[in-house]
């Protein structure tokens, strides 16, 4: 069973969070949604009830992937969560997949989690915060253990690439077909 952590915080972009969670669960992954509070109010006031509080996660649990949804305020709140940062650094050390969409790649840049010369993409509004990396305008950028993506409009492609990386292209294509989405 593939285990994935999706952390959320006040201001998280709900489309990105929900699309990621939904697509990964369609792939039969065990997705744990961890929030900063019992109820997380997202960027457009959608309320999401996480499975667990970020503060209650065991520091030594290794997920197969950690996937960070964006949203400017949500990204800032996740970037300030010392518990999440410790988990992210631990996962990098153990070479586990780390994904970030929209503004979320800035968390990985700000805390030196990306590798030097990392290829990345993000929402155009935060491109300037990623000047130390090889920036691309691809919808989804895969480099080493990192997958980054541009924003809400690329969330399905992003989630399907995660499925492909952690499972198979056949599963990703089957999910795309089932939701009537043209993949690739």
139-164 as b/e: b if 16+ CB within 10 A: bbbbbebbbbbbbbebbbbbbbbbbb
Interatomic CA distance for residues 139 and 116, integer angstroms: 21
Q: Is 102 a catalytic residue?
A: yes
* Matching residue, tokens 């090889």: 134
- Residue tagged active-site, from 42, 83, 91, 123: 123
Residue 141 designated active-site: no
Catalytic residue among 42, 91, 102, 141: 102
Distance CA 92, CA 19 (A): 24
Partners of 3 in the beta sheet? 30
Q: Nearest Cα to 97, choosing from 56, 68, 121, 123?
A: 68
Give catalytic residues, as residue numbers.
102, 123
């Amino acid at each position: 069973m593939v285990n994935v952590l999706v952390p959320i915080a006040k201001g998280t972009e709900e489309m990105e969070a929900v699309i990621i969670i939904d697509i990964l669960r369609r792939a039969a992954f065990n997705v744990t949604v961890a929030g900063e509070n019992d109820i997380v109010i997202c960027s457009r006031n959608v309320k999401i009830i996480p499975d667990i509080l970020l503060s209650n996660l065991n520091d030594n649990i290794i997920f197969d992937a950690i996937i960070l949804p964006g949203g400017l305020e949500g990204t800032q709140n996740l970037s300030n969560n010392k518990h999440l940062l410790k988990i992210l650094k631990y996962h990098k050390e153990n070479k586990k997949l780390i994904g970030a969409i929209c503004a979320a790649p800035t968390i990985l840049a700000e805390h030196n989690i990306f590798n030097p010369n990392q290829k990345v993409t993000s929402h155009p509004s935060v491109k300037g915060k990623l000047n130390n990396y090889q920036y691309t305008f691809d919808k989804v950028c895969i480099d080493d253990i990192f997958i980054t993506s541009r924003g809400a409009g690329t969330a399905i492609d992003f989630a399907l690439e995660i499925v492909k990386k952690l499972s198979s292209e056949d599963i990703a294509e089957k999910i795309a077909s089932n939701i009537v989405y043209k993949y690739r």
